[in-house]
Amino acid sequence: MKHARIAFVLLASLAAPACGGSKVQQGAKTAETGLPPANPLAVQRMVEGVAAAKDPKMQTRAIALFREAIQIDPKLWEARFDLGVVLASAGDLAHAEEQLEAAAKIAPEREEVAVALAEVRRRRGSNKDAARTLEDFVKDHPGALDARTLLVAALRDSSQHDKAIAQAREVLVRKPGDATALAELALCHLGKGERDTAQLLVKQSLDVNAKSAVAHRVQGLVHLAGGDDAAAFQAFSKAAQEDPHDTTSRLNMGAVLLRAGAYAKAAEQYKGALAAAPDEAAAQIGLAAALRGEAGGKDTKLVEEARSLLDKVLERDPHNVAALFNMGILQAESLKRPAEAKQYFERFLDDAPREHPSRPEAERQLTAAKHAVPAPPPPASAPAKPGSKS
């Protein structure tokens, strides 16, 4: 669901010429925000950036054009927003967050900016920060249903289940019978361990919209919680059929297969996700885990491929906690390099939220790495005999 939301924001921005940069639209936004009129050259660069962003092969060009627009007119929030969304889609979450924060300061009333910023923070593992961002926004904009629906997910993912349930009900008051809100409410109850209630809500959601990919994904998660991996996989497959362009269902199927130890089949799902979204960090991390499992500590080529994938993620986002943890595990267990693993576990513990489920394992691995006996140095070469060729 995470990648789907970010992708939707991008498509929405590309659907409107210049993301609100036409003279008529720009005039309306000036009156609304009190900002001075946008620099025409900056708007033109933004228009060119939007056109480039439609082509997957032109993302670097799009980023350069958006940056040029911002340099010309730093107050052009639309350009910062579009740059942030393109960077997020490419997996550069740290710089995406910077641009979206700047856009939010310039245009604090824009729901699409608040939603994109919160989504990036969620993807970086900062669910509490995402929730705070959205709580502030919906307090000032009670009718902002997209922001409120995402707030439900952010609160749930930060273990604030009762607050999440209250917000989900607020969405349903304003939009009765909404399939997505019902599915989110189901996840909230699932988070509290109330699986029967969650199942009833999922059924209600599917009764409203039998083709809801979100509802089928949630149904899969309910089955997972009940230990029924086969039913979960079937539900995720159905979600993928209903929404072929969303990578989330493939990620979920990959996770089910990983859990079952079917590493080669899990790798197929993650590769399928990467075919649709080549820079999707979650798919790269999942594929790395599948390759590591498939290697079994013996196939050095697969291990090296896994390491390369994690390196790419960390190059774009050095604070990606999932990549840090997985790199630590790979170094410690697959490559038998506890000293190398130590830095990754330390960085993970510095960046990961306190409630992160991988903290105990990272702490255990870090303790083991500190007590590991360093590998002996390679033997020195014998001195050359007098008169011999070197």
Quickly count: other Cβ atoms within 10 Å of residue 321's Cβ.
22
Phi, psi values for residue 131, rounded to 5°: -65, -40
What confidence score (pLDDT) does residue 22 get?
33
Q: Is 272-370 assigned to CATH 1.10.357.10?
A: no
What confidence score (pLDDT) does residue 244 get?
80
CATH of domain 125-246: 1.25.40.10
Task: Please name which of 208, 207, 227, 206 lies closest in space to residue 217, comparing C-alpha atoms.
Answer: 206
Write down the residue that tokens 């550069």 correspond to.
92
What confidence score (pLDDT) does residue 378 get?
54
Whole-structure pTM value = 0.69
Two tokens, residue 264: 């080669």
Task: State the SS3 of the chain.
Answer: CHHHHHHHHHHHHHHCHHHCCCHHHHHHHHHHHCCCCCCHHHHHHHHHHHHHHCCHHHHHHHHHHHHHHHHHCCCCHHHHHHHHHHHHHCCCHHHHHHHHHHHHHHCCCCHHHHHHHHHHHHHCCCHHHHHHHHHHHHHHCCCCHHHHHHHHHHHHHCCCHHHHHHHHHHHHHHCCCCHHHHHHHHHHHHHCCCHHHHHHHHHHHHHHCCCCHHHHHHHHHHHHHCCCHHHHHHHHHHHHHHCCCCCHHHHHHHHHHHHCCCHHHHHHHHHHHHHHCCCCHHHHHHHHHHHHHHHCCCCHHHHHHHHHHHHHHHHHCCCCHHHHHHHHHHHHHHCCCHHHHHHHHHHHHHHCCCCCCCHHHHHHHHHHHHCCCCCCCCCCCCCCCCCCCC
Cβ neighbours of residue 42 under 8 Å, at least 6 residues apart? 69, 70, 72, 73, 76, 79
**In the chain, which segments carry CATH 1.25.40.10?**
1-120, 125-246, 272-370
What confidence score (pLDDT) does residue 374 get?
58
**Counting every residue, how long is the chain?**
390
* Ordered per-residue pLDDT tens for the chain, 390 residues: 333 333 323 323 332 323 333 332 333 333 345 677 899 999 999 999 999 999 988 999 999 999 999 999 999 999 999 999 999 988 788 899 999 999 999 999 999 999 999 999 998 878 899 999 999 999 999 999 999 999 999 999 888 999 999 999 999 999 998 998 999 999 999 999 999 999 999 999 999 999 999 999 999 999 989 999 899 999 999 998 898 877 888 898 999 899 889 999 999 999 999 988 888 889 999 999 999 999 987 899 999 999 999 999 999 889 899 999 999 999 999 999 999 999 999 999 998 878 788 999 999 998 988 776 555 555 554 444 444 443
Query: Is residue 319 within 8 Å of residue 351, measured between CB atoms?
Result: yes
Quickly count: other Cβ atoms within 10 Å of residue 305's Cβ.
17
Task: Please name which of 228, 233, 221 lies closest in space to residue 265, comparing C-alpha atoms.
Answer: 233
Q: Is 1-120 assigned to CATH 3.40.190.10?
A: no
The CA-based angle 381-385-388, given to 5 degrees, is: 105
Query: Is residue 358 within 8 Å of residue 348, measured between CB atoms?
Result: yes
